[in-house]
Structure 1
């Protein structure tokens, strides 16, 4: 019997590439996302391995109904909660709806998915959750996105503590800039931009190795960690200067 993974946000970007990578390694992939068309295209690449599931992760009732429809015998070796979005905001006129949308998919959907799919994991299986390096440093216009990812990282770390006695492994994934349709919308320089295929391989290998935290590109991770150690006033001035450049 092949190993099985469930991946959310599988219709594009990191989720799509990772779903494809796992399928090529012989895994059965439950690929979840809203876009039925994009999921169909993904499944067509490897129809024997990929099971497309069109669901809105912010629709709790629909998620619950699908979870209940799964046979009791179905369990996942890995659940990868990857779905997310980025909306930039203006500090002088904060878009409250943008905050609601961002937290709905980036954080609340992660919590809901954890609740629904945790029963489908056994001791030795892995729950992997994708956050971001964005919360390491105060980037301009990132109040909604960065805050949502900070919440995801803290949730994941705390969850690992409370699941320690279950044998379920919890992996926190914090990517930097990855070349995806999401980052291709950015109009600023993205240091150490990583090809999405490399990111998918890092995720596969890291989870397989039992890592509890993955950060890539490593050079960006090192840089942001160093910046985070600067005195608070200096860090704030540097962030403001970066905004103006």
Structure 2
């Protein structure tokens, strides 16, 4: 019997690699992204990857699109909410439009997707909802006010959601990666410690989901480093964070 996996942000980076790896493992993959051309290219290369062009922030079109999907497949066995963006901000002149845009995709769209995809997950005998957040929210990084805050909200949402879905039959997996070499991080102009290749990151996520982990954090060296920083007295932690500021 076919297994169905839906992956958002599947046109590039981590989402694209996850789609390829799951398709290679025999899954039928619903690839969701805004880029029609990129999705069609994926489908041409992997026939078990099905293009599903959709802007997750379009709250008017989203319900109808998910209803259309529900008519095409029997259930979703796995949903990986991976879509997201990162824009750095100037704290001296906070750009409200960046905060609106970042939270719209990184948080609000994820909540809407969970709400609308829940019925399809419930139809599976063992549905899994995997939410991709970030390790960034564990430490106050420079210029990351919008991105880090959106990921902090998303991580809390996933953890709290798990509590209330305990008896629903749906597993909730929170994924918090460090730096992964993708088009998104390639725009960064600072050193990214313990940078992982996208193939490696996708394999770690697949293994964690397969082993039914509730939270997947990697790489361990970065996780350990952030935990150590958070053990510092608060005033010293603030000084360390300030010392990391970019010019």
Compute the TM-score of the two structures, normalised by the length of structure 2.
Answer: 0.96
2: CA distance between counterparts of 1:242 and 1:30? Answer: 40
Find the counterpart in structure 2 of residue 41 from structure 1.
Answer: 41
Q: Deviations over 1:88-140 (max 9, x none)?
A: 00000000000000000000000000000011113521000000000000000
Q: Which residues of 2 match residues 104-143 of structure 1 at below 5 A?
A: 104-122=104-122, 123-143=125-145
Alignment of 1:77-226 (within 5 A): 77-122=77-122, 123-226=125-228
Q: State the Cα RMSD in Å.
A: 1.2
2:6 counterpart residue number: 6
Within a 5 Å distance, the mapping from 1:13-92 to structure 2 comes to: 13-47=13-47, 49-69=48-68, 70-71=70-71, 74-92=74-92
Structure 1 stretches of 4+ with a deviation exceeding 6 A read none
Q: Which runs of 5+ in 2 are unaligned?
A: none
Name the SS of the counterpart of 1:26 in structure 2: coil
**SS in structure 1 of the partner of residue 137 of structure 2:** helix
1:242 matched to 2:244: yes
- C-alpha contact (below 8 Å) 2:35/2:53 kept by paired residues: yes
**Partner SS, residue 79 of structure 2:** strand
Change (3 A) 1:184 1:73: closer
Helix, strand or coil for the counterpart of 2:131? Answer: strand
In 2, Cα distance between the equivalents of 1:18 and 1:228? Answer: 31
- CA deviation map 1:6-36 (0-9, x unaligned): 0000001110000010000010000000000
Retained in 1: the 8 A contact 2:142–2:246? no
How many correspondences in the alignment? 244
How many Å apart are 1:72 and its aligned residue? Answer: 7.6
SS at match of 1:60: coil
Look up the SS of the partner of 1:32 in the other structure: strand
Q: Which runs of 5+ in 1 are unaligned?
A: none
Q: Distance in 2 between matches of 1:72 and 1:141?
A: 43
Give the TM-score, by structure 1 length: 0.97
Partners of 2:4 and 2:27 within 8 A in 1: yes
